[in-house]
């Protein structure tokens, strides 16, 4: 069913099929009157927000979608909407002429696009409006927009037909405008810091750079199997081998895993690599980046964020952020010292003895067991931005071994509201050590751990050509945007999240 206002401004319910047929008849009426229903262009000289700022009697030429259309005899009030907002326009019979006025009022529907030219004036009720002197038909809506009084609330439809969400909900338009400003701010900061933006391949021979299950596909021209990248990491580090000293990339990564409020199979990832840095420089870089973004986007340092149970917490983004030891955090929350375990079966038995269970635990290797233990007992409790340091070496096969403790790596993560938003470390640049770790990962993979990495011979060859000290860094763009815009699901900051086909 569809809803719309009739000529008296009263909302009426119409059958969807009849509604479409009625609109098609109006389209034919415009054509019969010699009006082109879908013109090539219109000289829109300003958006509606700027038009509202014009003084009385100023000339204006603008355009938008009709979101309200109310006829009252010889005068008709309409609200036009564009991405900047809404503005009232007024059609008068004595201004446009009887024939054109009749054509407009009898054949326009909610959702149609029009261009108007006229002058600014303020109505008796104090609303800034455009008195229309010239009218241009710009596009017929054969289907009606969502219910304008109640907005579009069906979350399934919000994701499947984002254009309806954007059309109906101003908050959604503002959220995605914020996303654009956020991405622009990130690039500006990188440029100020002397980084070069690059683009690397999405199709790869191996899924490397992270612990995740990839998507597999086939290239017909080369007759080879390839995977969609799960990380941007290794090609970017190869660029450092080639001479780039500060490089970043923002692009899509793909992980063939489950959906939940903080995970999507296709997500926007940001990574950078800086020669001669350690992970300590990257901690300071991260705090400077967020300070810059909060200032540039005029965001409050303290904001309310909902946890997984829907409870609101006041989260303070002020820097410097507190630090926590990853190993000590798990020990405090579970009583288990993960540094004491080198065998997956022994740790698995200890977890079960303590009543700790999670999906897929039976086939996990040591690395994945420790990671999932942390996600089970510790990560959900972290609310304010916290820097986790001191990670077991087994967890990160691409990170540099700590000089202070050979069982640890120089790595950190930033966690907010139980979501990991940043992961970074001092890179392992020793090719012999790297080969040993790859072999260990491959052994875990052969025993059923699908998230363990494979040996990447091409990357090892690049490493053997020599690497300087490097620190790399990755940020989950969608997660950060969800937190900063008050969303509890990353799908609400992605324009077109992946959905099952609609067979209804």
Same domain, 8 and 93: yes
* CB-count exposure of residue 315 (10 Å: 0-12, 13-18, 19+): middle
The conformation of residue 329, written as its DSSP 8-state character, comes to: H
Mean pLDDT of the region 304-322:
92
Q: Report the pLDDT value the prediction gives residue 202, as an integer from 0 to 100.
A: 96
User: Is residue 330, in this structure, part of any structural domain at all?
Assistant: no
User: Is residue 158, in this structure, part of any structural domain at all?
Assistant: no
- pLDDT tens profile 454-486: 788 999 999 999 999 999 999 999 999 999 999
Q: What does the alpha-carbon distance between residue 129 and residue 154 come to, in Å, rounded to a whole number? A: 33
Angle between helices 366-377 and 326-334 (to 10 degrees): 70
Query: What is the residue-averaged pLDDT of the chain?
Result: 92
Same domain, 192 and 317: yes
User: Is residue 24, in this structure, part of any structural domain at all?
Assistant: yes
Domain ends where: 350, 367, 382?
A: 382
Q: Is the pLDDT of residue 286 over 70?
A: yes
Q: Are 437 and 240 in contact (CB under 8 A)?
A: no
Q: What does the alpha-carbon distance between residue 250 and residue 268 come to, in Å, rounded to a whole number? A: 7
User: Is residue 162, in this structure, part of any structural domain at all?
Assistant: no
207 pLDDT band, cuts 50/70/90, is confident
| Dmax (CA) of the chain | 88
Q: What does the alpha-carbon distance between residue 107 and residue 96 come to, in Å, rounded to a whole number? A: 15
- Residue closest to 458 by CA, chosen among 133, 209, 161: 209
451 pLDDT band, cuts 50/70/90, is low
309 pLDDT band, cuts 50/70/90, is confident
Same domain, 136 and 188: no
**pTM > 0.85: yes or no:** yes
**Tokens found for residue 346:** 């022994």
Mean pLDDT of the region 137-165:
82
Give φ, ψ of 492 to 5 degrees.
Answer: -80, -5
Q: Are 109 and 26 in contact (CB under 8 A)?
A: yes
Same domain, 285 and 417: yes
| pLDDT over 70 percentage in the chain | 95
User: Is residue 498, in this structure, part of any structural domain at all?
Assistant: no
Q: What does the alpha-carbon distance between residue 213 and residue 452 come to, in Å, rounded to a whole number? A: 9
- Residue closest to 484 by CA, chosen among 265, 311, 294, 319: 294
Query: Which segment of 115-129, 251-265, 319-333 scores lowest on mean pLDDT?
Result: 251-265
Same domain, 227 and 284: yes
- pLDDT tens profile 47-101: 999 999 999 999 999 999 999 999 999 999 999 999 999 999 999 999 999 999 9
Q: Are strands 216-219 and 266-275 parallel, antiparallel or unpaired?
A: unpaired
Q: What does the alpha-carbon distance between residue 443 and residue 436 come to, in Å, rounded to a whole number? A: 11
Distance spanning both ends of the chain, measured CA to CA: 15
Q: What does the alpha-carbon distance between residue 366 and residue 436 come to, in Å, rounded to a whole number? A: 16
Q: Report the pLDDT value the prediction gives residue 6, as an integer from 0 to 100.
A: 40
More confident of the two residues 454 and 487: 487
- Alpha-carbon dihedral 188, 388, 323, 189, rounded to 10 degrees: 0
**Domain hosting residue 352, numbered range:** 340-382
Query: Which segment of 264-278, 286-300, 304-318 scores lowest on mean pLDDT?
Result: 304-318
User: Is residue 422, in this structure, part of any structural domain at all?
Assistant: yes
Residue with tokens 């304010």: 384
Q: Is the pLDDT of residue 152 over 80?
A: no
Same domain, 285 and 406: yes
User: Is residue 334, in this structure, part of any structural domain at all?
Assistant: no
Same domain, 22 and 35: yes
- Residue closest to 68 by CA, chosen among 25, 111, 18: 111
Taking residue 10's Cβ as centre, other Cβ atoms within 10 Å add up to: 9
Q: Is the pLDDT of residue 212 over 70?
A: yes
Helices within 226-380 (DSSP H only): 233-242, 279-296, 326-334, 344-353, 366-377
Same domain, 287 and 348: no
Please list, residue by residue across 204-239, b when 16 or more beta carbons sit within 10 angstroms of its beta carbon and e when fewer do.
bebbbbbbbebeeeeeeeeeeebbbbbbbbbbbbbb
Same domain, 455 and 371: no
Q: Are 364 and 344 in contact (CB under 8 A)?
A: yes
Q: Report the pLDDT value the prediction gives residue 437, as an integer from 0 to 100.
A: 85
Q: Is the pLDDT of residue 154 over 50?
A: yes
Taking residue 386's Cβ as centre, other Cβ atoms within 10 Å add up to: 16
Q: What does the alpha-carbon distance between residue 472 and residue 324 come to, in Å, rounded to a whole number? A: 20
**Half-sphere exposure for 233 (CA within 13 Å, toward CB):** 27
Q: Is the pLDDT of residue 7 over 60?
A: no
Same domain, 16 and 116: yes
Q: Are strands 323-325 and 386-392 parallel, antiparallel or unpaired?
A: parallel
Q: What is the CATH number of the domain that holds 48?
A: 2.40.50.140
Q: What is the CATH number of the domain that holds 488?
A: 3.30.930.10
More confident of the two residues 477 and 212: 477
Same domain, 369 and 258: no
- Residue closest to 301 by CA, chosen among 484, 492, 479, 486: 484
Same domain, 378 and 389: no
Q: Is the pLDDT of residue 3 over 50?
A: no
- Residue closest to 74 by CA, chosen among 98, 93, 96, 100: 93
Residue with tokens 């001479």: 243
Q: Report the pLDDT value the prediction gives residue 284, as an integer from 0 to 100.
A: 97
User: Is residue 182, in this structure, part of any structural domain at all?
Assistant: yes
Give the 3-state secondary structure of residue 44.
Answer: coil
**Half-sphere exposure for 316 (CA within 13 Å, toward CB):** 5
Q: Are 61 and 46 in contact (CB under 8 A)?
A: yes
- pLDDT tens profile 411-438: 999 999 999 999 999 999 999 999 988 8
The conformation of residue 263, written as its DSSP 8-state character, comes to: B
The conformation of residue 206, written as its DSSP 8-state character, comes to: S
User: How many domains, in total, are found in the chain?
Assistant: 3
Rg (CA), the chain: 29
Give φ, ψ of 98 to 5 degrees.
Answer: -60, -40
Q: What does the alpha-carbon distance between residue 95 and residue 100 come to, in Å, rounded to a whole number? A: 10
Q: What does the alpha-carbon distance between residue 347 and residue 368 come to, in Å, rounded to a whole number? A: 11
């Amino acid at each position: 069913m569809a809803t719309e206002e009739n000529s008296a401004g009263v909302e009426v319910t119409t059958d969807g099929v009849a509604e479409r047929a009625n609109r098609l008849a109006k389209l034919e009426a415009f054509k019969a009157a010699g009006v082109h229903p879908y013109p090539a262009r219109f000289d829109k000289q300003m958006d509606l927000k700027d038009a509202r700022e014009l003084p009385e009697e100023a000339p204006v030429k603008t355009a938008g979608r009709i979101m309200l259309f109310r006829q009252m005899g010889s005068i008709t009030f309409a609200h036009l909407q564009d991405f900047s907002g809404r503005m009232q326009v007024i059609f008068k019979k004595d201004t446009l002429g009887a024939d054109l006025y009749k054509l407009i009022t009898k054949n326009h529907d909610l959702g149609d696009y029009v261009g108007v030219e006229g002058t600014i004036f303020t109505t008796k009720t104090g609303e800034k409006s455009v008195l229309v002197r010239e009218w241009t038909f710009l596009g017929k809506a054969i289907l009606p927009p969502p219910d304008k009084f109640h907005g579009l609330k069906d979350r399934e439809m919000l994701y499947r037909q984002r254009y309806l969400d954007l059309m109906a909900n101003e908050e959604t338009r503002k959220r995605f405008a914020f996303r654009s400003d956020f991405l622009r701010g990130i690039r500006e900061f990188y440029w100020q810091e002397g980084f070069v933006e690059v683009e690397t391949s999405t199709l790869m021979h191996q899924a490397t750079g992270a612990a995740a299950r990839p998507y597999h596909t086939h290239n017909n021209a080369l007759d080879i199997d390839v995977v969609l990248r799960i990380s941007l990491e290794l090609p970017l580090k190869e660029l450092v081998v080639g001479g780039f000293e500060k490089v970043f990339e923002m692009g899509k990564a793909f992980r063939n895993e489950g959906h939940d409020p903080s995970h999507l199979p296709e997500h926007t990832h940001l990574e950078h690599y800086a020669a001669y840095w350690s992970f300590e420089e990257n901690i300071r870089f991260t705090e400077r980046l967020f300070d810059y973004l909060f200032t540039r986007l005029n965001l409050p340092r303290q904001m309310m964020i909902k946890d997984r149970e829907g409870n609101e917490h006041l989260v303070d983004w002020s820097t410097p952020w507190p630090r926590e030891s990853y190993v000590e955090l798990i020990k405090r929350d579970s009583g288990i010292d993960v540094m004491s375990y080198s065998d997956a079966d022994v740790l698995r038995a200890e977890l079960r003895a303590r009543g700790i269970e999670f999906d897929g635990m039976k086939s996990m290797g040591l690395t994945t067991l420790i990671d999932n233990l942390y996600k089970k007992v510790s990560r959900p409790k972290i609310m304010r931005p916290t820097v986790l340091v001191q990670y077991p070496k087994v967890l990160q096969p691409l990170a540099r071994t700590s000089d202070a403790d050979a069982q640890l790596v120089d790595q950190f993560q930033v966690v907010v509201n139980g979501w990991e938003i940043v992961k970074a470390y001092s890179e392992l640049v020793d090719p012999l050590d790297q080969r040993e770790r790859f072999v260990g990962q491959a052994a875990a993979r052969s025993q059923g751990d699908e998230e363990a990495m494979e040996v990447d011979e091409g990357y090892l060859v690049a490493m053997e050509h020599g690497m300087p000290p490097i620190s790399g860094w990755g940020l989950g763009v969608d997660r950060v945007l969800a937190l900063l815009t008050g969303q509890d699901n990353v799908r609400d900051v992605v324009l077109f999240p992946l959905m099952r086909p609609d067979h209804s």
